[in-house]
Amino acid sequence: MDTLLPIPTPQASKFTRLRTLLNSHQTEFLLEAHNGLSARIVEEAGFKGIWASGLALSTQFGVRDNNEASWTQVVDILEFMSDATQIPILLDGDTGYGNFNNLRRLVKKLEQREIAGVCIEDKIFPKTNSFIGGERQPLANIDEFCGKIKAGKDSQYHPDFSIIARVEALIAGWGLDEALHRAEAYHRAGADGILIHSKLSQADEILAFVNEWANRAPLIIIPTKYYSTPTEVFRTANISIVIWANHLIRAAAASMAKIAKEIHKTETLVNIEDQVASVSEIFRLQGADELLTAEKRYCKSSNEINAIVLAASQGEGLEAVTSEYPKVMLPIAGISLLRRLVDKFKHQQINNITVVTGYKPESITVKGISLVHNDTYTHSNELYSLHCALKSLSNDTIITYGDLLFRSYILRDLCHMSGKIITVVDSMFPSSQKYHIKDIAFCSKSDDRSLFSQEVYLTRIETYQNSSKANIKPNGYWVGMMRVVDEGRNWVLSALDELVKREDFLQLTIPDLLNYLIDKGFPIRVLYINGHWLDINNIEDLARAGDFAHGYQ
């Protein structure tokens, strides 16, 4: 066990790689998986091998760990797990699903699916989980179990397919001597390794077995019950493989229960959507990247959405915290505003992102974006910044301020809404004494939350204290986000061609552009939201931003 073995090349078979882990000069680790998705997660986490747990496999079927799932159903799941990964899989094969003949057929079917090995335990079929009344469970006859091991080894095709013998004597209360007697018999029968199991909360009897075993063959343990034992103890004891046996299925069950209760309680997805993996992350784990690449090559789409982020400002009123970088690089819960915004776009498959810089552009270190510089940022407004980025204004473009935090569904709904120009308006308007704020939105209809996808159009954006509609109750306020599509792009370009001729062009804002378009008769559709966003305009906003970000990552 102390012999240095060559590290397998990427071309080595899964069978050979598991055998190398068994005979490694250092302690190796396997993590439980129970389907293709969890298997890929284990591989991406960096593990060198997977434990296909009998408990986890039966749990994902919704049945007991008593051989209620047939071996053919288990093998079907294993095929998906093997196809999804490159690392070897060791199957928790219970008792071998029957006698020696059942094991011979199982070995054949596992090898066909590149499952690198199987662990069988010396209990009676149908088995019961070791932690359920373990001391009341009878053990298999030693000679019969040895015959099963020999049958499996005689049946294997690949020389490195591994059969591990799991000794249940400690679980069943038969003592250390019986455990050692059985392990030696199984080793002589051809087992490639011994798995010694215990249900005690301390590793004492495992370590006693290790001491007596004296490295006669690779030794495997499952410290589910004695999990507090430092891993270094296992290394010192020359344990070949440590298996973390059921923790992904338990984590999944706990998370699913929590989310299910929350959805049932609130009857909405708004509170949980940002707490679960995005759909795009699921697509990635499914291996959709290759298909997306093929689609770009063979089915090039003209409907790709671009984004323009207006981010030239230092931040008026925030100079005390933006002396070294612009407002969009302010850290919110450890992540910059711009990084959070870019991540939102990426999750919606919006990958062509142009950021208009101004103040200290060299401090913008966010990857995956293109930069355009507004060299007049000290005396120009955001409309000129947009003008600087006109080459990035495609037939479908999101235009947004760079200081926004918002829940993901707002961007998703904006991307899916029909219209040539669409603006986002928050209908949760503050109390009347705060009507002095700018970007007040007046719309063709109020937000009727009982109606889904209302057809509402923007009629004006103004600063309330200077509003020509002071006697009319506003419908909300514009959050600083809009989308232009197809003809809408031409409307914007035409409007900019006219507005750039004005002497005050450098002082014009995006609301000035929207009002100009409205005056020309172009319809600007409204996407109503009800809160769930925040912009950073002052120190107070910055103080609230951390709590907002923690809640809506």
pLDDT average, residue stretch 131-147: 78
Residue 136 has pLDDT above 60, yes or no: no
Residue 525 has pLDDT above 90, yes or no: yes
- The per-residue b/e assignment along 98-132, b for 16 or more CB within 10 angstroms, e otherwise, is bebebbbebbeebbebbbbbbbbbbbeeebbebee
Pairing of strands 193-196, 162-167: parallel
Tokens of 498: 């006219």
Q: Are residues 455 and 437 in the same domain?
A: yes
Under a CB-based contact definition with an 8 Å cutoff, are residues 245 and 224 in contact? yes
Q: For residue 65, indicate whether it is catalytic.
A: yes
| Band of residue 292 on the pLDDT scale cut at 50, 70, 90 | low
Tokens of 278: 């995005």
| Band of residue 435 on the pLDDT scale cut at 50, 70, 90 | very low
Q: Are residues 160 and 273 in the same domain?
A: no
The CATH number assigned to the domain holding 511 equals 3.90.550.10
- Calpha distance 132→436 (Å, rounded): 68
Q: Are residues 325 and 370 in the same domain?
A: yes
Residue 477 maps to a domain: yes
For residue 189, what pLDDT is reported? 97
The CATH number assigned to the domain holding 82 equals 3.20.20.60
**At a CB cut-off of 8 Å and minimum separation 6, what does 125 contact?**
67, 94, 95, 96, 97, 98, 99
For residue 123, what pLDDT is reported? 86
- Calpha distance 250→238 (Å, rounded): 28
Residue 7 maps to a domain: no
Residue 6 has pLDDT above 60, yes or no: no
Residue 497 maps to a domain: yes
Q: Are residues 307 and 297 in the same domain?
A: no
Residue 20 maps to a domain: no
Q: Are residues 275 and 247 in the same domain?
A: no
Q: Are residues 480 and 542 in the same domain?
A: yes
Helix residue spans in 350-456 (DSSP H): 382-388, 408-416
Q: pLDDT digits over 223-254, tens only?
A: 999 999 999 999 999 999 999 999 999 999 99
| Band of residue 32 on the pLDDT scale cut at 50, 70, 90 | very high
Q: Are residues 318 and 292 in the same domain?
A: no
Look up residue 436 and give its DSSP letter: T
Q: Are residues 51 and 176 in the same domain?
A: yes
Domain count along the chain: 3
Q: pLDDT digits over 85-96, tens only?
A: 999 999 999 999
pLDDT average, residue stretch 188-200: 95
Residue 508 maps to a domain: yes
Q: Are residues 274 and 323 in the same domain?
A: no
Residue 467 has pLDDT above 70, yes or no: no
Residue 17 maps to a domain: no
pLDDT top residue among 449 and 103: 103
Q: Which of 253, 281, 310 is the last residue of a domain?
A: 253
Residue 14 maps to a domain: no
* Burial class, 311, CB count within 10 angstroms (exposed 0-12 / middle 13-18 / buried 19+): buried
- Calpha distance 33→50 (Å, rounded): 6
CA distances from 500 to 335, 383, 384, 421, 513 (A): 36, 10, 9, 20, 11
Q: Which of 223, 253, 283 is the last residue of a domain?
A: 253
For residue 502, what pLDDT is reported? 92
Annotated active-site residue in 65, 122, 439, 447: 65
Q: pLDDT digits over 347-377, tens only?
A: 888 989 999 999 999 989 888 899 999 999 8
For residue 537, what pLDDT is reported? 79
Q: Are residues 221 and 287 in the same domain?
A: no
The domain in which residue 287 lies consists of: 268-301
Q: Are residues 51 and 200 in the same domain?
A: yes
Which pTM value belongs to this model?
Answer: 0.61
Q: Are residues 61 and 92 in the same domain?
A: yes
Measured CA angle at 244 (ends 14, 150), to 5 deg: 50
Residue 143 maps to a domain: yes
Under a CB-based contact definition with an 8 Å cutoff, are residues 357 and 402 in contact? no
Largest CA distance in the chain: 98
